[in-house]
């Protein structure tokens, strides 16, 4: 019997169960056990190219959004290519870090997850110490490292993700002893939240809370307990807003950014972001033609990069960005499901946690830029200017690619 006939028999259940694994290997069909060597095609090339497309487009837009900043006296000592060159350096460093991260087996990530969380906690404490933490616009979120700055909250996102995945594997009795099992992880997230709110960085805390919640849900927490935790977090966020005057002002400005009390205050960014989208219409004004980036829209190269994309590329450009992030999130979640189907629970939860992280943060950033959500200081993953964010984003994608690589090895009869 030919090899093709044996493969067909394996698909329809006439061959021994060990002959083929019932897990889809993307559009190429089903992986079959064997001693075939791993090839370049065993990498998820489509995922890599989508990430590269986002990075390349982001690089172009960071240059476009920041090219006029040196005309502002605040940035007078910078060259017109200052932010472009620094973003390029960040991409190179992040690419090297991603290559190193990919070489680390998923089992090693599982072992170091608790220690990575401890390191993130220590750095979040260090950023609040005078002389170590660097303040910008009233917030102390960075640690100066000479030629660059590092933002510990970005490391905290990855650390909580890996720790939550590891925790769910070690505490598989969450359904029977929920509070006893989940309380330690809840305490860890609460401590991180308090440190982030002291910076303050409510946006990062929101992302971390959603990552932890997502992994709890995907790890098997029953719906009643899941919604109880969600309700507690919702009440906590409402209290944070109610007890903070400047957060309340942001909510009022979001509800009516055109009111004269908010237009030149808390609603200034949002109103000019909406003007940028309005100018872009369907096809945009063309690359480099944005007016709002000319000192009208603050943080155009970081938090509000999508507004510049909307002005220069129009609705078509915005829909393209949304499509790329939707596909990326869906593909990463699929890789996680493959790992769980292969009985690799930690790897699956870690990959799906990355999907929750990228999808939720992109959703929040887009919602803020479009005026659908209150203003938060969250960047657009892979695209906005910011070395720490780019670094952690690419390391997270490298871990997902490692999970997929080991999945494919197993489906070809090898060892992960």
Confidence of residue 416 (pLDDT cuts 50, 70, 90): low
The model's pTM is 0.85
State residue 42's pLDDT score.
65
Range with the largest mean pLDDT of 18-22, 27-31, 293-297? 293-297
Rounded to an integer, the average pLDDT of 18-38 is 40
DSSP summary character for residue 285: S
Which residues are 24's β-sheet partners?
30
pLDDT 10s digits, 341-394: 999 999 999 999 999 999 999 999 999 999 888 888 789 999 999 889 999 999
Return all residues near 375 (Cβ < 8 A) that are at least 6 apart.
250, 253, 254, 266, 269, 270, 368
State residue 304's pLDDT score.
93
pLDDT 10s digits, 116-159: 999 999 999 988 888 787 767 667 787 877 777 889 999 999 99
State residue 178's pLDDT score.
63
Question: How far, rounded to the nearest angstrom, does the alpha carbon of residue 370 sit from its chain's CA centroid?
Answer: 19
DSSP summary character for residue 176: T
Sheet holding 139-144, edge to edge: 133-136, 139-144, 149-150
Q: List the single range of 106-120, 188-202, 266-280 with lowest mean pLDDT.
A: 188-202
State residue 26's pLDDT score.
42
Confidence of residue 177 (pLDDT cuts 50, 70, 90): low
Give whole-number Cα distances, 57 to 63, 323, 378, in Å: 10, 14, 18
State residue 375's pLDDT score.
81
Cα(first)–Cα(last) distance of the chain, in Å? 31
Confidence of residue 18 (pLDDT cuts 50, 70, 90): very low
Q: Which residue has the tokens 């991603």?
A: 98
Q: At 344, list the tokens.
A: 């690799």
Q: At 229, list the tokens.
A: 């935790």
Chain mean pLDDT for the chain: 83
- C-beta of residue 165 within 8 angstroms of C-beta of residue 349: yes
- For residue 35, pLDDT over 50 is answered with no
State residue 352's pLDDT score.
96
In total, the chain counts a number of residues equal to 416
- For residue 317, pLDDT over 80 is answered with yes
For 313, phi and psi rounded to 5 degrees? -115, -5
State residue 25's pLDDT score.
42
pLDDT 10s digits, 263-292: 777 778 888 999 999 999 999 999 989 999
Dihedral through CA 189, CA 191, CA 194, CA 195, nearest 10?
-100
Question: Could you please report the per-residue DSSP string of 309-356?
Answer: HHHHHHHHHHHHHHHHHHHHHHHHHHHHHHHHHTT-HHHHHHHHHHHH
Cis peptide before 163 (omega within 30 of 0): no
Q: List the single range of 13-17, 162-166, 300-304, 385-389 with lowest mean pLDDT.
A: 13-17
Confidence of residue 248 (pLDDT cuts 50, 70, 90): confident
Instruction: Give exposure, 162-192, as e/b (b: 16+ Cβ within 10 Å).
Output: bbbbbbbbebeebeeebeebbeebbebbeeb
Return all residues near 219 (Cβ < 8 A) that are at least 6 apart.
164, 165, 168, 174, 345, 349
Rounded to an integer, the average pLDDT of 153-169 is 92
State residue 241's pLDDT score.
77
Q: How far apart are CA 380 and CA 387, in angstroms?
A: 12
State residue 220's pLDDT score.
75
Question: Could you please report the per-residue DSSP string of 139-166?
Answer: EEEEEE-SSSEE-HHHHHHHHHHHHHHH
State residue 137's pLDDT score.
65
Q: How far apart are CA 340 and CA 254, in angstroms?
A: 41
Q: Which of 378, 399, 397, 400 is nearest to 154 (CA)?
A: 378
Which residues are 323's β-sheet partners?
none
pLDDT 10s digits, 229-245: 778 778 887 887 777 77
Q: How far apart are CA 385 and CA 302, in angstroms?
A: 5
Q: At 96, list the tokens.
A: 């090297």
Q: How far apart are CA 416 and CA 405, in angstroms?
A: 8
Return all residues near 293 (Cβ < 8 A) that are at least 6 apart.
64, 65, 66, 68, 300, 301, 308, 311
- C-beta of residue 403 within 8 angstroms of C-beta of residue 339: yes
State residue 371's pLDDT score.
87
Q: How far apart are CA 211 and CA 364, in angstroms?
A: 13
State residue 376's pLDDT score.
80
Q: List the single range of 108-122, 238-252, 296-310, 366-380 with lowest mean pLDDT.
A: 238-252
pLDDT 10s digits, 60-107: 999 999 998 888 777 778 888 889 999 999 999 999 999 999 999 999
State residue 138's pLDDT score.
63
């Amino acid at each position: 019997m030919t090899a093709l006939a044996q493969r067909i028999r394996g698909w329809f259940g006439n061959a021994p169960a060990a002959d083929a694994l019932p897990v889809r290997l993307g559009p190429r069909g089903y992986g079959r056990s064997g001693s075939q060597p791993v090839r370049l095609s065993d990498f998820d090339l489509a995922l890599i190219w989508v990430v590269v497309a986002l990075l390349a487009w982001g690089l172009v837009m960071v240059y476009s959004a920041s090219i006029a900043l040196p005309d502002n006296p605040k940035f007078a000592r910078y060259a017109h290519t200052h932010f472009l060159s620094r973003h390029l350096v960040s991409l190179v460093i992040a690419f090297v870090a991603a290559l190193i991260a990919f070489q680390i087996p998923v089992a090693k990530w599982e072992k170091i997850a608790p220690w990575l969380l401890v390191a993130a906690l220590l750095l979040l404490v260090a950023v609040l110490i005078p002389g170590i933490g660097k303040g910008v616009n009233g917030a102390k979120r960075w640690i100066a490292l000479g030629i660059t700055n590092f933002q510990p909250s970005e490391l905290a996102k990855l650390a909580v993700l890996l720790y939550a995945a590891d925790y769910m594997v070690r505490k598989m009795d969450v359904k029977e002893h929920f509070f006893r099992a989940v309380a330690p992880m809840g305490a860890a997230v609460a401590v991180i939240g308090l440190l982030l709110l002291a910076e303050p960085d409510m946006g990062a805390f929101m992302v971390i809370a959603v990552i932890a919640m997502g992994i709890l849900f995907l790890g098997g927490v029953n719906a009643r307990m899941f919604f109880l935790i969600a309700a507690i977090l919702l009440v906590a966020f409402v209290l944070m807003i109610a007890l903070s005057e400047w957060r309340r002002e942001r909510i009022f400005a979001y509800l009516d950014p055109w009111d004269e009390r908010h237009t030149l205050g808390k609603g200034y960014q949002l109103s000019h972001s909406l003007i940028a989208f309005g100018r872009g219409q369907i096809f945009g004004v063309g690359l480099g033609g944005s007016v709002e980036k000319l000192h009208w829209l603050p943080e155009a190269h970081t938090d509000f990069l999508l507004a510049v994309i909307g002005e220069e590329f129009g609705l078509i450009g915005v829909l393209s960005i949304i499509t790329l992030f939707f596909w990326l999130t869906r593909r990463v979640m699929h890789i996680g499901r493959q790992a769980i189907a292969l009985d690799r629970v930690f790897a699956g939860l870690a990959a799906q946690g990355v999907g929750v992280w990228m999808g939720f943060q992109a959703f929040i950033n887009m919602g803020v830029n479009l005026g659908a959500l209150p203003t938060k200081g969250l960047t657009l993953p892979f695209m906005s200017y910011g070395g720490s964010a780019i670094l952690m984003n690419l390391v997270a994608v490298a871990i997902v690619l490692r999970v997929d690589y080991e999945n494919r090895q197993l489906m070809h009869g090898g060892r992960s």
